[in-house]
Amino acid sequence: AVRGLLLDVSGVLYDSGGDGGVPIAGSVEAVRRIKASGLKLRFCTNETQATREKFVKKLQGMGFDISVAEVTAPAPAACRILKERSLRPHLLVHNDLVPEFAEIDKANPNCVVIGDAAENFTYANLNEAFRVLIGMEKPVLISLGRGRYYKETDGLKLDVGAYMKALEYACDVQAEVVGKPAKMFFESALAEMGVPPQQAIMIGDDIVNDVGGAQRCGMRALQVRTGKYRPCDENHPDVKPDAYVNNLAEAVDIILQQL
C-alpha cells in the first residue's frame, strides 16, 4: 500500500533557469491530483540557491500548490546540526541562501558549510574555504548535497558535489552530506509525513541521489525521464529504479490507479 509520496523538485516539477524556470508539462496538475487523492506529500529538494520562502514563492507563481511547511530542504537541517554541535560556519553558499543562517553564530569559524554557490564558486572563494579547513586540527566540512550536475533551461550545470570533492581532496577530509542522498534527509521527510518507508515512493530525476538514496532508506523509487535524466542512467551499474516513467504526470497516473 502507498500512503505517501516524496517528490524531487528541480527536474521533476520544473526546469530551473536564469529567468526563474518553466514547469514541466503536466506537473502542476499532477501535484493537484496527488493532493486530491489524500496521499501524504513532501517536496524533497537539494535546492540551495534560495531560502525555502523564496523558492516556494517562485513555484507558487508557476501554479504549483505548495507551501513552505511541505518542503524538506538541506539548509534548515544544517542549521539544526550547527546549533546542536556548537559549530560556527564559514559559508560558501549562494547569496540568496545566506538568510537561512541568520540565527547562526558565524564568528571565528570552526567548520565550513558548502552549498550550490553558482557564481560564488570562484577560485578566491574556494581557496578561502580551503584555508579555513586546512587551518583546523580536525576539519569539519558540511555539504548541502553532493549532486554532480543539474539541468537548467540553457543546459547542464555543475552542482555542489564537484566543489565538495575538491575541498575533500585538498584537505584530506570527508564531508558530512546533509541533503540527498543522506539517509537522515529521507528519514526526516518520512517522519514529517508520518509514513514508514515501505509505504512511500520517491519520484526523482537523479539516479543516484534521488533513486538510490531513497531505496537505501527502504522506499520504492521511480525515475522520471525529465530534468537531468540521461539514457545512460538506464544502464547504471549500481542503482535500478523500481520503474522508469516519462514524467511526473505518468507516475501519478500509475500510482493512483493502484490505490
Query: What CATH number does the domain containing 156 carry?
Result: 3.40.50.1000
Taking only the tens of pLDDT, the chain with its 259 residues reads 899 999 999 999 999 887 889 999 999 999 999 999 999 999 999 999 999 999 999 999 999 999 999 999 999 999 999 999 999 999 999 999 999 999 999 999 999 999 999 999 999 999 999 999 999 999 999 999 999 999 888 999 999 999 999 999 999 999 999 999 999 999 999 999 999 999 999 999 999 999 999 999 999 999 999 999 999 999 999 999 999 999 999 999 999 998 8
Q: Transcribe 121-159 into DSSP letters.
A: --HHHHHHHHHHHHTSSS--EEES---SEEEETTEEEE-
**Is 259 in a helix, a strand, or coil?**
coil
Element at 79 (helix H, strand E): helix 74-84
User: Can you give the pLDDT at residue 20?
Assistant: 84
User: DSSP E strands: which ranges in the chain?
Assistant: 4-7, 14-15, 22-23, 40-44, 71-72, 89-92, 111-114, 141-143, 149-152, 155-158, 176-177, 200-204, 220-224, 243-245
Contact yes or no for 145/165 (Cβ under 8 A): no
pLDDT of residue 259: 85
Domain boundary among 153, 177, 201: 177
Shared domain for 170 and 220, answered yes or no, is no
Q: Which residues contact 132 (CB under 8 A, 6 or more apart)?
A: 90, 109, 112
Q: Where is the domain boundary, 118, 153, 177?
A: 177
Instruction: Specify the DSSP class assigned to residue 24.
Output: P
- Domain termination site, one of 177, 205, 233: 177
Question: Do 97 and 158 fall within a single domain?
Answer: yes
Query: Dihedrals φ, ψ of 15, to 5°?
Result: -105, 125
How many domains is the chain partitioned into structurally? 2
- Same domain membership, residue 86 and residue 148: yes
Query: Rounded CA gap, 187 and 218, in Å?
Result: 10
72: helix, strand or coil: strand
Task: Say if residue 226 is in the same domain as residue 242.
Answer: yes
Separation CA 126–CA 93 (nearest Å): 11
Q: Which residues contact 116 (CB under 8 A, 6 or more apart)?
A: 46, 47, 48, 49, 93, 94, 144, 145, 147, 150, 159, 160
- By the 10 Å C-beta count (0-12 exposed, 13-18 middle, 19+ buried), 157 is classed as middle
Q: Are residues 150 and 139 in the same domain?
A: yes
- Specify whether the CB–CB gap between 142 and 89 falls below 8 A: yes
Question: Phi and psi dihedrals of 91, rounded to 5?
Answer: -95, 125
Residues 28, 112, single domain; the answer is no
The domain of 93 spans 79-177
Same domain (yes/no): 102, 118? yes
**Angle in degrees, 0-180, between the axes of helices 183-193 and 74-84, rounded to the nearest 10:** 100
Is residue 56 situated within a structural domain? no
Q: Is residue 213 part of a domain?
A: yes
